[in-house]
């Protein structure tokens, strides 16, 4: 978990570990704060992967799969290392796994205009029915549970926007076990995906999904912003 706002004082130093392409991408953001937050989360990703791979942050090679999911190139003979990143507002979450593909999503909980229309596009019939039983703050929390859980599943599968969200269902009512309830997708037998909520900072919802796992142990740790401040000034 990366507190991007707390790390903002070191944003200028994040460039020290970014590639020219990554710096150019940051420069395309319209809002300066968005650019700085993206650079910080990317630098934190490089530092974390470098620790696991035993290389310099600048030597970490990031690639993209056929549907755009980022992946890291590991050395010959090394086991695979799976990762996924999500950020919203002032918080970023990085997930690492040595076992199976993972997906993570974090969202700042906030009021959303046109909520019913969004649910109509991404929710299955059972999810839409479940949300209709709730009102007010409970309904908003359930919506963000729905959204983060489904996004985490899609990101774990690595299919990008090619998967229709309305064709699988996740639990979303208070007290329900967090899981995939049903799926019409060949890529997603319900029992093939392990799904967990993440306990994050106040005001945020988050979820983690792993494909091909029957159980999932999650440990949430904070990223030390001092690691960014220790980088050389660019």
pLDDT, tens digit (0-9, with 9 covering 90-100), for 10-55: 777 888 889 999 999 998 999 988 998 999 999 999 999 999 998 9
CA 52 – CA 55 distance, rounded (Å) = 8
pLDDT, tens digit (0-9, with 9 covering 90-100), for 135-168: 999 999 999 999 999 999 999 998 776 788 999 9
* Phi and psi, residue 174, nearest 5°: -55, 135
The closest alpha carbon to 105, from 64, 62, 165, belongs to 165
**Cβ-based neighbours of 141, under 8 Å, separated by 6 or more:** 109, 174, 205
Angle, helices 136-157/115-122, rounded to nearest 10 degrees: 40
pLDDT given at position 225: 76
The domain spans of the chain are: 2-99, 103-211
Share of the chain above pLDDT 70, in %: 97
Q: Indicate the DSSP class of residue 190.
A: G
Homologous superfamily assigned to 103-211: 4'-phosphopantetheinyl transferase domain (3.90.470.20)
pLDDT given at position 224: 83
**Cβ-based neighbours of 145, under 8 Å, separated by 6 or more:** 170, 172, 197, 205, 207
| Position 227 confidence tier, pLDDT thresholds 50, 70, 90 | confident
Query: Which tokens go with 29?
Result: 């953001």
Biggest distance spanned by C-alpha atoms of the chain: 54
pTM, entire model = 0.90
Domain at 2-99: CATH code: 3.90.470.20
Whether 2-99 shares its CATH topology with 103-211 is answered yes
């Amino acid at each position: 978990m990366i507190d991007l706002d707390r790390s903002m004082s070191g944003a200028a130093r994040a460039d020290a570990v970014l590639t020219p392409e990554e710096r150019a991408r940051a420069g395309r953001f319209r809002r300066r704060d968005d650019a700085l937050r993206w650079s910080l989360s990317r630098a934190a990703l490089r530092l974390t992967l470098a620790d696991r791979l035993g290389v310099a942050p600048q030597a970490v090679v990031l690639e993209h799969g056929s549907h755009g999911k980022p992946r890291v190139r590991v050395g010959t003979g090394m086991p695979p290392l799976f990762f996924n990143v999500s950020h919203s507002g002032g918080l970023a979450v990085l997930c690492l796994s040595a076992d199976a593909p993972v997906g993570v999503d974090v969202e700042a909980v906030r009021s959303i205009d046109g909520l019913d229309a969004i649910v109509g596009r991404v929710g299955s019939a059972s999810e839409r029915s479940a949300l209709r039983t709730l009102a007010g703050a409970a309904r908003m929390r359930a919506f963000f549970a729905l959204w983060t859980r489904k996004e985490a599943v899609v990101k774990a599968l690595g299919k990008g926007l090619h998967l229709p969200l309305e064709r699988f269902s996740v639990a979303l009512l208070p007290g329900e076990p967090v899981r995939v309830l049903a799926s019409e997708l060949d890529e997603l037998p319900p029992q093939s995906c392990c799904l967990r909520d993440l306990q994050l900072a106040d005001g945020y919802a988050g979820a983690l999904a792993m494909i091909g796992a029957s159980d999932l142990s999650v440990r949430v740790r904070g990223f030390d912003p001092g690691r960014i401040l220790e980088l050389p000034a660019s």
